[in-house]
Structure 1
Amino acid sequence: MLTVKAPGKLYIAGEYAVVEPGYPAILVALDQFVTVSIAQAQNYGTINSKQYEEVPVFWRRQGNQLVIDKRDNPFEYILAAIKYTEAYAVQKGATLTLFNLTINSQLDSEDGRKYGLGSSAAVTVATVKALTQFYHLNLTLEEIFKLAAISHFTVQNNGSFGDIAASVYGGWILYQSPDRQWLTQMLKHESLQQVIELPWPQLKIESLPVPAELRLLIGWSGSPASTPVLVDEIAVSRAHKQQRYSEFLSVSRQCLQKLTQGFKEGQIDLIKEQLAVNRQLLQNLSAFSGVVIETPKLAQLCQLACNFGAAAKSSGAGGGDCGIALLQANTQIQTQIQAAWQKNGIQPLAFNVYNLPQE
């Protein structure tokens, strides 16, 4: 039996803008994992997961039609990862066989609610990694990223693949999404192997150095949110308010450039300053789009952290899930922030940054 794991992630800054090709975001991989085990099978194969046995099915109305939204169903990502990894394996000359796949996730709370750590991306990456090892494909990190991104794209076509990148590369990363229109056309006209071997326009994945004294605190609002649905809602607003949205993108890029400079030069004050700027940008986006990004509970999380001198904001699409705080290392202040969160119904999450093992 082969066993692999892929970490969850959190967005630090650059949310929503990163969905547009070439606009940067910063993410971090966390030491909470989706683990996939794969073993040769006889007669028939299986896919098993104790976490996903009772996943709710989301649906909406389209006229009088009931339309299932598959984008929050982890099995859709697992099946897509199997489909594309096996297609790639065949193009590489592998012989397909039966297998048993067992998935175990740490990315949800004990009662099954999502923390918002990118579980769909992590399960996609872990499935791709397991199958590439099972079929002895010997892929680079970039090839694993591209195969997982394509798999994920076929289920959720409005994402940036940033969570895929964090899950593949680990640590703190600077990320820019590729041109998804180009990717759509390439997948129609080129072989899967060719698409993976080509350079992807606008894609950028770069590991970031982190100041030794920088500390990341994570708090969970207790309220799960659906990233695909929130991104859809912002997309509607983008179409109606193009000028405001263009301004948001431009200022987000400037903010992320300064934030990246803070990481590369070890300037914690600059990092905190620009994190606060990014929070304000997301509040402005929320105001003109009408989409709730920073919920009252996330606003409280941020205010409590700021009271102790940290910089804080919502993480990811918002609407619930997690908030983050960044501060200079100080055990007493860290404890005070976490105690204040807990007192106000915000659950501190004792997760750490996950870096890939050095080979």
Structure 2
Amino acid sequence: MITEKAPGKLYIAGEYAVLEQDCPAILVAVDQFIRVSITKSNSKMGLIHSKQYSQNSIHWVRRGAKMVIDNRDNPFEYILAAISYTEQYCLEQHVKMKVYDLYVNSDLDSADGKKYGLGSSAAVTVATVKAILRFYHVVYSNELVYKLSAISHYSVQGNGSAGDIAASVYGGWLAYQTFDKAWLSKELATKKLVAVVSEAWPGLKIQLLTPPKEMKLLIGWSQTPASTSRLVDETNANKDALNEKYSEFLQASRNCVLKMIAGFEENNITIIQQEIRNNRHLLQHFAQINQIAIEIPRLSRLINIAEDYGGAAKTSGAGNGDCGIVIADHTTDIPALINNWKQNDILPLKFHVHQVKLLQ
């Protein structure tokens, strides 16, 4: 049996803007994993099984009189897409197909099945791609895994930046800029997959970052799950109407994240904390002009408590639930902060940054 794992992720800064070209974000991989195990089937029928996802709920919308299932929150859709594209890549390399059983095990949900917001769909996609490549004895690099995973994930989600894919593949702290999606769609329609993943993707930038030694990352969970794909849908629908305001948000977010990257490069926690607070205000304004909820009351409490004890805090990811993050240093009263969180129904998550072995 072959087993591969991929870590979850948290956005540190640059949310929403990262969906556009030339707008960087900062992410971190955390030591909570999805594991995918694969073994040759003993029959002509293969199996895909997950204990966590066996009771998974689905969402649907009404389009006119028609009921349409939204499969973007169904992890099996990502697994099937990852299998499809990875096997297509293997077939183009003249690999003979086999029948196998695939088992999925996840740390990325709470004990009662609620999502922490750690990018489970990205992690299961990455782990599945890696497991299948190993099963077929195909030599792979992190870049190949990223590209196959990004294509697979985007084919299901239809939006997003694939920053969570990058975090699950490369691990640690990283700065990320998304690729040109229109270019990728055109390439996939006209070229073999093996050619597309061998090309340089316009706009794509992945830069590993080294955090200052005294910097600490704290994570608080609101205990309210959120759906990234539907929040992104809402903001995408408003882009044309907002026009100038949206452009201003993108430029401000870009400047903020570039300053934060410089803070990492200069080993300067103060700069990183300043830009965390700046990014929070940018996202609050973005939520206001889009008339969406990013910083729900419990996340506001999480942030305000952290600020009271000397931490720089904001929402992580799409918001409307899930997690908040805190950048702390030696002046932050962490025990008091965590105790206050607990008194306010905010769950501290004892996760750590996960480093991934670099594959060339």
TM bin, normalised by shorter chain, reads: over 0.9
3-state SS in 1 of match to 2:293: coil
Deviation at 1:70, TM superposition (A): 0.6
In 2, distance between residues paired with 1:329 and 1:79?
46
1:128-143 alignment, distance < 5 Å: 128-143=129-144
Deviation at 1:214, TM superposition (A): 0.4
Contact 2:142 2:358 in 1 (8 A): no
Aligned alpha-carbon RMSD (Å)? 1.0
**Aligned letter for 2:56?**
V
Deviation at 1:22, TM superposition (A): 2.1
1:76-95 alignment, distance < 5 Å: 76-95=77-96
1:94-243 alignment, distance < 5 Å: 94-243=95-244
Aligned counterpart, 1:328: 329
Q: Percent identity?
A: 51
In 1, distance between residues paired with 2:157 and 2:41?
30
CA-to-aligned-CA distance 1:93-144 (integer Å, 9 cap, x gap): 1100001100000000000010000000000000000001111111110110
**Aligned letter for 2:73?**
D
Aligned counterpart, 2:356: 356
3-state SS in 2 of match to 1:197: coil
**Aligned letter for 1:24?**
P
Contact 1:21 1:180 in 2 (8 A): no
In 2, distance between residues paired with 1:337 and 1:99?
48
Deviation at 1:239, TM superposition (A): 1.8
In 2, distance between residues paired with 1:161 and 1:248?
20
Aligned counterpart, 1:308: 309
3-state SS in 2 of match to 1:30: strand
In 2, distance between residues paired with 1:335 and 1:97?
53
**Aligned letter for 1:174?**
A
Deviation at 1:358, TM superposition (A): 6.6
3-state SS in 1 of match to 2:77: helix
How many residues matched? 358
CA-to-aligned-CA distance 1:277-310 (integer Å, 9 cap, x gap): 0000000000111011111110110000000111
Deviation at 1:357, TM superposition (A): 3.8
Deviation at 1:351, TM superposition (A): 0.3
**Aligned letter for 2:327?**
L
Contact 1:77 1:120 in 2 (8 A): yes
CA-to-aligned-CA distance 1:10-33 (integer Å, 9 cap, x gap): 000000000012210000000000
What runs of 5+ residues in structure 1 fail to find an aligned partner? none
CA-to-aligned-CA distance 1:180-218 (integer Å, 9 cap, x gap): 111111111111011100100000001001101000000
Q: Determine whether 1:339 maps to 2:339.
A: yes
Contact 1:47 1:101 in 2 (8 A): yes
Contact 2:7 2:33 in 1 (8 A): yes
Deviation at 1:219, TM superposition (A): 0.3
3-state SS in 1 of match to 2:156: coil
Aligned counterpart, 1:295: 296
In 2, distance between residues paired with 1:113 and 1:180?
31
**Aligned letter for 1:276?**
R
**Aligned letter for 1:225?**
A
In 2, distance between residues paired with 1:281 and 1:310?
18
In 2, distance between residues paired with 1:326 and 1:207?
18
3-state SS in 2 of match to 1:181: helix
In 2, distance between residues paired with 1:44 and 1:22?
45
Contact 1:145 1:168 in 2 (8 A): yes
